[in-house]
Each structure stands twice: as structure tokens, then as C-alpha cells.
Chains A and B, each alone.
Chain A
């Protein structure tokens, strides 16, 4: 997790696919990587609000070695 200045726009790298680590090997568009049970999780970096800390970029792999529950949800202020 890298410390950030509180800027208006914070780039984060998003999905960190193995093929994207080496830019010379472009991934063909039709190859769509998705997560499957029993397979390694796909790492990513996202900007985040961390309660008690502030704004930080967070990588999924920062939590490697622990049990992780990753919860997607449709949006803040939705009703459920």
C-alpha cells in the first residue's frame, strides 16, 4: 500500500494480468481472463478509502497469506 497525497485524480493500475507485466507482449483482445474457483486470484491495484487511515492505493496481493473476502457491490447509497 503506497501513501498518497490527496489529489483530485489518483491513477491505479487496475487488473494486474501476468501478460500485462511485460508490455512487449500485447494480450489479444479476445483473450479474456476471468477468475475461477480453484485457480489463483487475479491481482489488481485500486485507489481506496481506508477507514482510520485515509486514501491509499490497495493491491489485492498486499493481503496474500491471509483469508480474503472480496465483495463487489453495485454502488454506494444503493438500498440493499
Chain B
């Protein structure tokens, strides 16, 4: 949570809206912000923290752990047409990497803007591929791992 907040300016520059959601109540979210998150990152997290009591929303998104009664780490990238573009789900013990999240958003935005496709490990400024008959069997000429 705080790791994303630390990169928040960069995500804002990409036009990204963040929503965090757990089974905690909105009151607990407020107190967590006050007593802990605001000490990890100046001003605390700047995005809405949503409440999913009973995990009904998490269940629909396939991330509710009924035995533990919590939503596991599930991250969904949704495009401006309201279509889900990416899903990443982790067990609670391993945190996410906001830099990889940023790279994926940049890749999805590049694809949407250009119609090109981005090869493995693509970063902004690196060549992307123009899919079409001429590229079949010749990716090796333009891209190497």
C-alpha cells in the first residue's frame, strides 16, 4: 500500500486511479492510515480504501479465502473501456512490485495507443512489434531476449 503511495506521482502522470480494498471496515482503514501508513509515506496513502466485509466482492473477483476470511493479494488493471487487462494474485506472504505494475500499465497504454504489441520485458522507449504477415517467423530479426 505504502509502496504504491511512494510512486503515486508517477501513477498519476499515467492517469491511473488506485482503489485498495480489504475486508476491514472503513473505520479501521482510517485508523491504519493515521497510526501507521502516514508514518511510512508522507501524508499517508492518497487513494480510497474500500471495505469488503464478508468478502462478497473478493469472491466475485476470485480472491476471497473463505478459510481465512480475507481477500488475498489480487491486483487488477482495468482499462478506460472497463475491460480487465491484467490480473496478478499472490498469497499474503509476498508483497507486490509497484515498478512492475507501472511497466505493465505503460505497456498496456502503448498497445492501446499504437496497435503494436510489446515483447517480454518491454520498457518504454524500447522497440515494440507490429503484428502482421511480414513478422511471422521473423521476430528473431527485430527482438532478442
A interface residues, Cβ below 8 angstroms from B: 10, 12, 14-15, 17, 32-42, 44, 46-52, 55-56, 58, 60-61, 63-78, 80
- CB pair A80–B94 under 8 Å, yes or no, is yes
Please determine whether A49 and B29 come into contact, CB atoms closer than 8 angstroms: yes
User: Once the chains bind, are B24 and A47 in contact (CB under 8 Å)?
Assistant: no
Q: Which B residues form the contact surface with A (CB < 8 A)? A: 1, 4, 11, 14-33, 36, 43-52, 54, 56-63, 68, 70-80, 82-87, 92-96, 101, 105, 108-109
Question: Within 8 Å CB of B84, what residues of A?
Answer: 35-41
Of chain B, the residue at the smallest CB distance from A9 is B25
Q: Are B77 and A67 in contact (CB under 8 A)?
A: yes
Q: How far is the CB of B129 from chain A (nearest CB, A)?
A: 19
**Are A67 and B16 in touch, CB under 8 angstroms?**
yes
> Are B19 and A69 within 8 A (Cβ)?
yes
Main secondary structure of the interface of B (DSSP, over half): mixed
Given contacts A48-B49, A49-B33, A55-B26, contact A41 B73 (CB under 8 A): no
Q: For residue A77, which residues in chain B have a CB less than 8 angstroms away from its CB?
A: 32, 36
Interface of A: prevailing SS: loop
Asked if A58 contacts B50 (CB within 8 A), the reply is: yes
Question: Known interface pairs A74-B22, A80-B95. Does A40 touch B82 (Cβ–Cβ under 8 Å)?
Answer: yes
Residues on the A chain within 8 Å of B71, using CB: 72-74
Report B78 CB to chain A, min CB distance, Å: 4
Chain A neighbourhood of B58, CB < 8 A: 72
The residue from A38, A49, A65 contacting B48, defined by CB atoms under 8 A apart: A49
Nearest chain A CB to B145's CB is how many angstroms away? 24
- Bound CA–CA A55/B33 (angstroms): 13
Query: For A55, what are the chain B residues with a Cβ–Cβ distance below 8 Å?
Result: 26, 30
Residues from chain A with a CB closer than 8 A to the CB of B74 are: 71-72
Interchain nearest-CB distance for A38 vs B (Å):
7
Known: A35-B87, A49-B49, A80-B92. A58 touches B62 (CB 8 A): no
With a CB–CB cut-off of 8 A, which chain B residues contact A48? 26, 29, 48-51
Least CB separation from B38: chain A residue: A51
Q: Is the CB of A68 within 8 A of B50?
A: no
